Amino acid sequence: MKIAVLVKEVPDAAVEKRIDSGTKRLDRSGEKNLNPFDTHAIEAAMQLREGGAVQVDEIVAVTMGPESSKSALTKAVSLGADRSVQLTDDGLAGSDVNATGYALAKVLESESPDLVLLGQQSDDGECYAVGAVVADHLKMPSLTQVVKLEASGDTLTCERQAEYGYDTVKVTLPAVISVGDAINEPRYPSLKAIMGAKKKPLETKSAGDVGIDAGKVGESGSKTQVLGLNPPPQKASGELIADADDDIDGAVAKIVSWLDERKLI
């Protein structure tokens, strides 16, 4: 079986994220990294391969993003993917969820994977939605937030938490599955894997290469528009006890009197 893992480049966790008031898009100028949630999807692919219940012939990391997103792919390869594909094209910039999912589905069509894995959410857009869009275009069954995944033949048994508790769902391959971050503990790449990652095949494709309809992508092809940008309602900021570790007893005394003042003890 062939597994495609969708991975995204996002601003590094240490960067304070903000929307640019001019372009109304995310300011992507700072340090970038592989979306941390996607490392769980790569690890899930690796565990399927190593688990032996099914034969995994190939794991391909796929991204859509600017030139710089190559480094997210290299990181994905260092975590276990065999090769990677980058969809990059100026015409794709500013794509919303629906446009992004459509474009990714077109790249995936050219790869014909048996299983597409995604992270539970991106650390920037946090739309939790790309998987379902991709699945609808590929006409595959789909599930999100999966925290247990077992494969047997062409059937996946998936568990995930929904509104009323845990659901167990059997899904027939080919399928699109987004995994929750509790599914596994991603491994750290070995030094050898990091060194070797740059040598693994990385293919770059343009929108035209995979037959993307230019009218359906990019800012102009997107059906959502950011019309305005507002600050959140002002809230009185809370009290903070900084560096409590330096004076635990003092901090505890402060907490106790704070609670006591509010008659909570």
Partner 1 sequence: MAGILVYVLAKDGEFNKNSLGAISEAAKLAGQLGGEASAIVVGGDFADDKLATLGAYGAAKVYKVSGPEGLAQPAVDAMAKVMTDNGLDVALFGGGLLGLEIGAGLAARIDAGVTMEATGAKADGGKIVVERPVLQDSQIVDVGFSGKAVVIGRLNSFEPNDGVGAAGAVETVDVEFNDFSLKAELVTRGEQRGEDVNIEDADILIAGGRGLGEKDKFGLCEDLAGALGGAVAATRAVVDAGWYPYAAQIGQTGKTVAPKLYLAAGISGAIQHKVGMQASENIVAINKDPNAPIFEFSDLGIVGDLHKIVPKLTEAIKAKKGA
Ligand X SMILES: Cc1cc2nc3c(=O)[nH]c(=O)nc-3n(C[C@H](O)[C@H](O)[C@H](O)COP(=O)(O)OP(=O)(O)OC[C@H]3O[C@@H](n4cnc5c(N)ncnc54)[C@H](O)[C@@H]3O)c2cc1C
CB of 21 to partner 1, least distance (A): 9
Q: If binding means CB under 6 A, how many residues of this protein chain bind ligand X?
A: 31
235: contact with partner 1 by CB under 8 A = yes
Among 53, 195, 214, 252, binds partner 1 (CB under 8 A): 252
Q: What letter would DSSP give residue 81?
A: -
Applying the rule CB under 6 A, the residues between 105 and 164 that interact with ligand X are: 118-122, 124-130, 145
256: contact with partner 1 by CB under 8 A = yes
Torsion of CA 8, 62, 177, 81, to 10 degrees: -100
Applying the rule CB under 8 A, the residues between 148 and 167 that interact with partner 1 are: 157, 161-167
Closest by Cα among 7, 22, 181 to 78: 7
The number of CA neighbours under 13 Å toward the Cβ of 201 is: 8
CA angle 86, 188, 88 (to 5 degrees): 10
Which part of the chain contacts partner 1 (CB under 8 A), choosing from 67-75, 193-201, 206-214, 256-264? 256-264
Applying the rule CB under 8 A, the residues between 105 and 124 that interact with partner 1 are: 124
Nearer to partner 1, 172 or 206 (CB): 172
Nearer to partner 1, 31 or 249 (CB): 249
Binding mask 15-54 for ligand X (x = CB under 6 A): -----------x--------x-xx--x-------------
Nearer to ligand X, 63 or 151 (CB): 63
Residue for token pair 């995979």? 210
Closest by Cα among 113, 116, 65, 61 to 84: 61
CB of 223 to partner 1, least distance (A): 3
- Residue 17, SS3? coil
Cis peptide before 174 (omega within 30 of 0): yes
| Beta strand 142-152 pairing with 155-162 | antiparallel
Q: If binding means CB under 8 A, how many residues of this protein chain bind partner 1?
A: 79
Among 133, 150, 188, 214, binds partner 1 (CB under 8 A): 133
243: contact with partner 1 by CB under 8 A = yes
CA distance 256 to 54: 56
Instruction: Kindly give, in sequence order, each residue whose CB lies less than 8 Å from that of residue 99, ignoring residues fewer than 6 positions away.
Output: 92, 216, 217, 218, 221, 222, 223
Which pair of structure tokens corresponds to residue 61?
């990391």
In the chain, how long is the greatest CA-to-CA distance?
Answer: 67
CB of 133 to partner 1, least distance (A): 4
53: contact with partner 1 by CB under 8 A = no
Q: Summarize as ranges the residues that interact with ligand X (CB under 6 A).
A: 6-8, 26, 35, 37-38, 41, 63-65, 95-98, 100, 104, 118-122, 124-130, 145, 224
